[in-house]
Structure 1
Amino acid sequence: MRISTAQMFHQNINSVTQKQSQTSQIIEQLSTGKRVNTAGDDPVAAAGINNLNQKNSVVDQFLKNIDYAKNRLSISESKLGSAATLASSVREQVLRAVNGSLTDSDRQTVADEMRGSLEELMAIANSKDESGNYLFGGFNTGSQPFEFDASGNAVYHGDSGVRESVVASGTTIGANIPGDLAFMNAANGLGDYSVNYLATQTGEFNVESAKVTDPATHVPDTYTFNMVGNDLEVRDSTNAVVTTVTAFDPNTPVSFNGIEVKLDGKPAPGDSFTMEHAPEVSLLDTINSAIALIEDPNKVNTPAGKSELAQMLNNIDSGMNQLDLARGVAGNSLKSLDSYAATHEEEQIVNNSALSMLEDLDYAEAITQLEQQQQALNAASSVFTKVGTVSLFDYI
């Protein structure tokens, strides 16, 4: 078969170029440490690598979300723990103020200490994270969530929003504790109604519980209890008589309109008190009211004052339970986040192991191939040089 000079040159050039390309590819693999740098290196492996990288990207985002949620919840849980400690201290101060041997000056000192604790508690409720966002504002993180209005009532400017962090496919966990859950929505210590005792009270009694026992027949209203002689009369907000308990016995609960009221002690004839529907109470309001009562020397040692303090102690206990509940929510969420983080980290290890098998370079094998390719390239170049110098005139 006749081979033209052009054909010979073309074949030799293709051979040298191919060897150079193969050598260059191995050099690139050695420099990157990867066996597959482009889809052309190994199409099947490249598809698997792309799939695993996408999975790792998703897992990385889950882990970032978990870190964000853990950071906020850890701070919130710590703040709520401090708040619970303060609330416990306030309870002890209220019990100390009940001591009849204290002077007005002593009680004022106790009230001042309680006011300092209340200010600390308010500062905790208005805590910010490292970015300057309010921790306990719900979705409203840009403005202060808590303050006292002109009447001395605690006002919550936040909402009940819980910001959900996606921590796994189809799974979210709340990354914050709303302020109303922690500081405002404590269950009423008496049940479903709060009691207002009158300064004219002379009998030694207080309401032990006031609960809705039959929601179907319950009529929410403000009720007035009057001790008329030996009978207990109950009137609604229109002053209409709801029920009259003749020969009232405090050992027997008073039931009306789906409500059951238990008294500890018996009102004296002429005593009255009112009761309004309030299934939830605010810890901040309760402490503020306790301070005002302790600072009033004309009321704190009266039967009405003692009854109010008993109710406030119940509500402080309920507020402390609410703080513990909110803290428990944060703790459970943190535990779940740790579990999801561990699962994702294990998944990353598996994915990275599979990636390593698909794309990592075997350096010993690659160096051997490089030496073989260099020898082949040198041989092809040498042959091309020799063949390229051959001329028919050399043989004439």
Structure 2
Amino acid sequence: MRISTAQLYNQSISSINKHQSSSNALMDQISSGKRVNTAGDDPVASIGIDNLSQQNTLIDQYLKNIDYATNHLALAESQLGDADTLTMSIRDNMLAALNGSYSESERQSLADEMQHGLDALLALANYRDGDGHYLFSGTLTEQQPFAFDNSGNIVYSGNDDTRQALVAAGVAIATNLPGDTAFMAAPNAMGDFSVNYSANQTGDFVVSAAEISDSAAYAAAPVGDYTISFTDDGAGGLNYQVSQGGAPLAAPAAFDPTNSIIFNGISMSFDGEPANGDSLTITEQANTNIFDTIQQAINLFTSGNDLQTPAGQSELAQLLNNFDSSVEQMRDARSVAGNALNSLDRITDNHQNLKLANSSALSTLEDLDFAEAISEFEKQQVALNASSQLFGRLSSFNLFDYI
């Protein structure tokens, strides 16, 4: 069989190109340290590499979201921790006012300390993060959440929405705590009503509970405050009478301190016993907040009224109960932040473990065996040199040299 010169040349060039291509591919692998740089290097492994790489990319995004959530929740938890410490100092001042030996100037000093504490607590509730956003205003981060109105009552101007961060497949965690949840919506310690005690009270008693026991009956009753008056029944006991707007709702009835007073769907319980001539008024108030409670205590301390009277003691007891309810609410909010941070730690560990497993699998699929690759590269170089030399000799071969 005869082989033409053109065919011989084509075979030689094809061999050189093949070895050159193999050498270049090996050089790319050695440079990148990867066995699979394109799908053509290993189609099956390439599919697995793409899937694992996408998983790791998604995990990296989750971890970024977790960092954002962790930073904001940790800041909120820290602020609530500072608020808890501050409120305990304020509570100590409220308890100190029970000391009957305190003079008016000393009570004023306590009130001044409580005012400083209230200002500091308000500053914590209106805290801004490093980006200048209010921490406790819900999603209205440009809006200052808390301020006192002209009547001296605190007003919340944020909302109760939360910002959600996707931290795992199907798992979203709130990255903020709305201010009304943390500071505003504490349940009234007595139930559904607050009590205004008469300054002329002589009996040693407090209302331990005032709540709606029959919602249907309460809804059908006229709206407004109720006054309960106590009078001597003439037989060594007491009668009580409930009135609204100055009009009695019913005839006087015998008062038994061991049983609740029930009227218009409202139930009231007492600790202690009123005296003849005592009275009180109840106003519907299902919730309270730490700011108004502290302000009311300050007003009580600076009113000039004797806190050692039964009325003063009863009012202060009510304020302390509402204060404790508000502090418990702040602690609950802090627990929410703490639990979320713990969950984020666990999710982070899961992500990091999965990423480590994926990286190990990626290494198996795509990492290059440098010793084997260098050895193969040297073989291809030898073959390439041999092909080049052979082509050089064939290209210089001439029949006339032998004639």
Calculate the TM-score normalised by the size of structure 1: 0.95
1:306 aligns with 2:327: no
Q: CA deviation at 1:299?
A: 5.1
Q: Pick which of 223-232 and 163-172 moved more.
A: 223-232
Q: What is the aligned partner in structure 2 of residue 286 from structure 1? A: 293
Find the residue that maps to 2:323 and give its secondary structure.
Answer: helix
Q: Distance in 2 between matches of 1:211 and 1:264?
A: 15
Ranges in structure 1 where 5+ consecutive residues have no aligned partner: none
1:159-202 deviations in Å (ceiling 9; x for gaps)? 11121111111111111111111111111111221112233434
Partner of 2:48: 48
- Judged with a 3 Å threshold, the aligned counterparts in structure 2 of structure 1 residues 24 and 245 are, in CA distance, closer, same or farther, namely farther
Greater Cα shift, 81-90 or 280-289: 81-90
Structure 2 vs 1, CA of residues 338 and 14 (structure 1 numbering), >3 Å: closer, same or farther? same
1:20 corresponds in structure 2 to: 20
CA distance in 1 between counterparts of 2:32 and 2:183 reads 57
Between the aligned partners of 1:215 and 1:38, the Cα distance in structure 2 is: 73
Shift of 1:243: 4.7
1:231/1:244 contact within 8 Å kept: no
Q: Secondary structure at the match of 1:273?
A: strand
- Correspondence for 1:159: 159
CA distance in 1, matches of 2:265, 2:164: 39
Amino acid at match of 2:151: S
Q: 1:321 aligns to what?
A: 328
CA RMSD of aligned residues (A): 1.7
User: Helix, strand or coil: the match of 1:265?
Assistant: strand
Residue 223 of structure 1 aligns with an amino acid whose one-letter code is Y
Map of 1:144-155 to 2, 5 A cutoff?
Answer: 144-155=144-155
For 1:234, the equivalent position in structure 2 comes to: 242
Name the structure 2 match of 1:139. 139
Residues 243 and 256, structure 1, Cα contact 8 Å, conserved in 2: no
Once residues 354 and 163 of structure 2 are traced to their aligned partners in structure 1, the CA distance between those partners, rounded to angstroms, is 26
Alignment match, 1:266: 273
* Cα shift at 1:271: 2.7
Separation of aligned partners in 2, 1:278 and 1:53: 57
Contact 1:245 1:254 in 2 (8 A): no
1:314-364 per-position Cα deviation (integer Å, ceiling 9, x unaligned): 001101111111111111111111111111111101110111111111111
Instruction: Indicate conservation of the 8 Å contact 1:199/1:299, yes or no.
Output: no
1:373 aligns to what?
A: 380
Aligned length: 395
Aligned equivalent of 1:4: 4
* C-alpha distance in structure 2 between counterparts of 1:330 and 1:10, whole Å: 75
Distance change (3 Å), C-alpha of 1:337 and 1:10: same
Partners of 2:363 and 2:314 lie apart in 1 by 73
State the alpha-carbon separation in 2 of the partners of residues 18 and 113 from structure 1: 89
Secondary structure of 1:147's counterpart equals strand
Tell me what 1:364 maps to.
371
The CA deviation string for residues 33-78 of structure 1, in whole angstroms up to 9 with x for no partner, is 1111111211111111111111111111111111111111111111
- Counterpart code for 1:140: L
Per the alignment, do residues 242 and 343 of structure 1 end up closer, same or farther by CA in structure 2, a change over 3 Å counting? farther
The gaps in structure 2 that reach 5 residues or longer are 233-237
Q: Give me the whole-angstrom Cα distance separating, in 2, the residues matched to 1:244 and 1:362.
A: 100
201 and 34 in structure 1: CA distance in 2 versus 1, 3 angstrom threshold: same
Query: Secondary structure in 2 aligned to 1:355?
Result: helix
3-state SS of paired residue (2:132): coil
Residue in structure 2 matched with residue 198 of structure 1 by the alignment: 198
Distance 1:358 1:245 in 2: 90
Q: Secondary structure at the match of 1:276?
A: strand
Aligned ranges for residues 36-115 of structure 1 at < 5 Å? 36-115=36-115
Number of the residue aligned with 1:383: 390
**2-structure distance, mates of 1:197, 1:250:** 17
Report the more deviating stretch, 225-234 or 13-22: 225-234
Provide the C-alpha distance between the structure 2 equivalents of 1:244 and 1:310, rounded to a whole number of angstroms.
Answer: 30
* TM-score computed with the length of structure 2 as normaliser: 0.94
2: CA distance, partners of 1:8 / 1:368: 29
Deviates more, 1:263-272 or 1:42-51: 263-272
Q: Matched residues in 2 for 1:314 and 1:224: separation?
A: 22
Partner of 2:235: none
CA distance in 2, matches of 1:55, 1:244: 77
Q: Is the 8 A contact 1:154 1:285 kept in 2?
A: yes
Equivalence for 2:226: 223
| Partner Cα separation in structure 2 for residue 243 and residue 114 of structure 1 | 43
For 1:225, the aligned partner's letter is I
